[in-house]
Amino acid sequence: MQLTIAERIILMNVLPKEGDFITLKLMRKLRETLSFTDNEIDTIGFKYEWKCPKCGSGELSLIMPKCSPCGTWMKSSGTVSWDEAKARDMVKDIHLGDSMFALCVNTLKKLSDTKKLTEQHMSLYEKFIVADEGE
């Protein structure tokens, strides 16, 4: 299955954080499959947004920086960014076994059933649910 940079990040973020032993093993393997290579990180200019807890200044960096104005170690804001133009056509062919595919389908269906599906989930929903139902 071909997934974009954004789809890979979104899918990693919606996967369950808890489960039984087998589910946790599947999620770990799936997260490894969805993760980024050093080459991908360099190519798209992947960066985290950092905020200073002391003075509030911000910075984009791949690694945790010290705040220039006050010297305090910055904290992650939880936001990532990348060069959209470079990433636009960058897709990765993700090979999922039946169990990993089912985990993704169940996760996305649960978001839909609980009315927590958002527009950013739509392309994943179409790839995992709509395409699967069409076969």
pLDDT along the chain (135 residues), means of 10: 94 92 92 93 93 94 93 93 89 92 94 95 94 64
Q: What share of the chain is helix, strand, coil (3-state, %, to 5)?
A: 50, 20, 35
Check residue 89 and give its pLDDT.
81
Check residue 110 and give its pLDDT.
95
Check residue 132 and give its pLDDT.
63
Give the ranges where the chain is alpha helix by DSSP (H): 5-14, 21-34, 38-44, 84-87, 98-113, 122-125, 131-134
Check residue 88 and give its pLDDT.
84
Check residue 53 and give its pLDDT.
95
CB atoms within 10 A of CB 66: 12
Check residue 125 and give its pLDDT.
96
Going by the DSSP 8-state scheme, the letter that residue 73 receives in this structure is: B
pTM of the model: 0.82
